[in-house]
Amino acid sequence: MAELIPVEAFDLIIFGGNGDLASRKLLPALFHRFCDGQITNDSRIIGVGREELDQAAFIGNVKQAFETINPLAVDKKFQPFSALIDYVQLDALDHGSWKKLVERLKGHEHKATTVYLATHPTLFGSIANGLSKNGLIHDQMRIVLEKPVGHDYESASNINDEVGTCFRENQVFRIDHYLGKETVQNLLALRFGNSLFEPLWRREVIDHVQITVAEDLGVESRLDFYNRTGALRDMVQNHLMQLVCLVAMEPPSSLSDDSVRDEKIKVLRALKPIGAGEVKTHTVRGQYTAGAVAGEAVNGYAEQLKDGESSQTETFVAIKLEVDNWRWSGIPFYLRTGKRLERKHSEILIQFKQVPHSIFDTEHFSTLPNRLSIMLQPDEGMKLNIMAKEPGPGGFKLKPVSLDLSFEQTFGVKYPDSYERLLMEIFRGNQALFMRRDEIETAWQWTDSILEGWESASQSLEYYKAGSWGPTGAFLMLDRDDRHWATG
C-alpha cells in the first residue's frame, strides 16, 4: 500500500457530537486515520452537543460506542487518540451558550478548522449564523453539511442561502458518502483511465443501464426521520443521482473540483422530468410487509408504527429515467433501491446491445448481450460477461462466461469506510468528492417533480414481502420494455 501522508494539524468541531453519525461513523473513521498515522497529535476533535457532559464523560461515550461496533479496535491506541478529544456544551439557538466554544477556539484562529454539521438540517443556517456572529469564521475554516440538505428544492435552497451568507462556496463541503466509496471512485478510473470503454459508452452500443442499491436492513432506529422522508428523498435524490452522474457524464478535463462537478451538473440538467403524466409508467413506490430476511422473521414497516397509525411512506422505489442528450437519448436508466430486500447488494450494470446478426446455431444456443457489472458492495469488483465457445469437439457451442475482478483479491486490502476518505479530503481541502450547491438543488428539482406527480396522480403504494426483491410493479416496468433486472 502507498505510504500515507499525514494531513496538516486541524481543529474539527462536530455539531451533533453525541449523535448517531458521530459515534457510528465520524469518530471511528478519525480513529482509524489516527492509527494509520494520518492525524497528528496536535489536532483537536471537539464534540459539540446540547447535553451537559464533561470531557471525560464524552470520551467515555465515544469509547463505549467503539466497543459496540468493534471491541477489538479499541486497543492501546485509544488512549493517545482520546487525548485529541474535547467536548463543549452548546445550544445553537441560545446565543448565550456560544461563549464556551469561543473560549475553546481562542488562540487557534490560524489553524485549519473544519466545522462538521451532523445535526438536523433545520439547524444548519442557525449554526452558520452563530459562528459568524461570534466572530469564529476565518479563511482557514471549512463547513461540512451532512445529508440531507433540506427535504425539497425550496428548503435546500434556503439552507444554501443561509450558509452562503457566512461562507464562500469553496468553504462548503456537502457530503454524499457514496462519493467516498472505493468502487464509486473506480468508476472514474474505469471510464477515464482506459481507452477501451469510451468508444462503447454511448447510445449506439449500450442497450440500457441498471442501478440497484438494495439493503437488507429496515429503518432501524430512524423510524421517525424515515417516515417523513421515504426512499426517494433518502436514497434517490442523492446517492443514486450521483451514481447516474458518474455513469453518464462526459469526460472532465481534469480531476479538479470543478471539472468533475461541471460535468455532473450537465447530466442532472439533462434528466427528462418525470411528472404526473409519467409517474404511473416510469416509477414504482413500494412498502415492505412482514417476511424473512436471511432466515429471520422480520416485521413489516407498518407494524413498527404506533397503534392505529398508518403510513404512505415508500421504503422502495424504482424509476425509469432518461438522460436527454446526444450520448444517451433513448437509452433507459432503470434505478431501484429499497429496504428489507433479499440481501445487501449494490451494482451498476451496463447492458450492451445484442449482436445484430448471429452466425451461430440460434435454434440451440442464444447469444446473450454483453454486460459490464460494477459491484459497489458488499463484494466490490467488476465483471464483464461475454460469450465464448465451450471447449470440446461437440460442435460450435456458445456459453456465457465472465471476466471477474474482485478488488479485495486483486489488491489484497480491505477498503476504509467512505467517511475515512471523505474526512481526509476535507482536511486537504479537495472539493471534487462533494456536492456543489447547483448539483444538490438541481437534483431536488428533479425529485420534487416526481413527488408532485405522485401526489397529483394519487400513485398508490405496492406492497412487497420483506426478503423479496421488491414489488411486482418493478419487474413489470422492465417486462414492458422486454428487459429484466440482472439480480432478483
Active site residues: 239
Site size for ligand BG6, by CB under 6 A?
Answer: 3
CB of 213 to ligand BG6, least distance (A): 6
* Min separation Cβ 88 and ligand BG6, Å: 27
H or E element that contains 383? strand 381-389
Does residue 439 interact with ligand BG6 by CB under 6 A?
A: no
Q: Is-contact 342 216, C-beta < 8 A?
A: yes
Complex with ligand BG6: residue 46 or 144, whichever CB lies closer:
144
Closest separation between CB of residue 343 and ligand BG6, Å? 13
H helices of 76-146, in order, are: 78-82, 99-105, 124-133
For every residue of 136-163, DSSP letters joined together read: ---TTEEEEEPSP--SSHHHHHHHHHHH
The secondary structure of 235-267 as a DSSP string is IIIIIIHHHHHHHHPPPPSSSSHHHHHHHHHHH
Cα angle 250, 428, 434 (rounded to 5 degrees) comes to 40
**Looking at beta carbons only, is 333 or 419 nearer to ligand BG6?**
419
How near is the Cβ of 231 to ligand BG6 at its closest, in Å? 8
Rounded CA separation 237/188 (Å): 21
Give me the residue whose beta carbon is nearest to ligand BG6: 234
C-alpha span between 27 and 114 (Å, rounded)? 14
Site for ligand BG6 in 346-385 (CB under 6 A): none
What is the smallest separation between the CB atom of 159 and ligand BG6, expressed in angstroms?
17
Query: Which C-beta is closer to ligand BG6: that of 167 or that of 226?
Result: 226
DSSP line for 292-307: EETTEEE--SGGGSPT
234 lines the binding site for ligand BG6 (CB under 6 A): yes
Nearer Cβ to ligand BG6, position 147 or 282?
147
Strand order in the sheet with 141-145: 85-89, 44-49, 10-15, 112-117, 141-145, 172-174
Least distance CB 147 / ligand BG6 (angstroms): 6
- R_g (Cα) of the chain, nearest Å: 24
Mapped onto helix, strand or coil, the DSSP state of residue 170 is helix
- Shortest spacing between CB 459 and ligand BG6, in angstroms: 21
Q: Cis peptide leading into 199, omega within 30 of 0?
A: no
Which lies closer to ligand BG6 via its Cβ, residue 141 or residue 231?
231
Smallest separation (angstroms) from ligand BG6 to the CB of 41:
30
Q: Is 448 in the site for ligand BG6 (CB under 6 A)?
A: no
Residues in 136-165 at the binding interface with ligand BG6, rule: CB under 6 A: 147
342 lies in the site for ligand BG6, by CB under 6 A = no
Q: Tell me whether residue 385 or residue 418 sits nearer to ligand BG6 (CB atom).
A: 418
Interactions with ligand BG6, residue window 80-119 (CB under 6 A): none
Contact string 161-200 vs ligand BG6 (x = CB under 6 A): ----------------------------------------
CA distance 127 to 168: 15
CB closer to ligand BG6 out of 331 and 422: 422
Strands 316-322 and 141-145: unpaired
Looking at beta carbons only, is 142 or 181 nearer to ligand BG6? 181
Chain mean position to CA 470? 20
Task: Identify the residue whose cell numbers are 467488476.
Answer: 382
Grid cell locating 257: 473540483
Residue 215 makes contact with ligand BG6 by CB under 6 A:
yes
* Amino acid at residue number 221: S
For residue 286, the minimal CB distance to ligand BG6 (Å) is: 15
Amino acid at 404: D
Half-sphere exposure of 238 (CA within 13 A, CB side): 25
Give one DSSP letter per residue of 36-67, joined into a string.
Answer: TT-S-TT-EEEEEESS---HHHHHHHHHHHHH
Residue number, 105 or 219, with CB nearest to ligand BG6: 219
Residues that bind ligand BG6 (CB under 6 A): 147, 215, 234
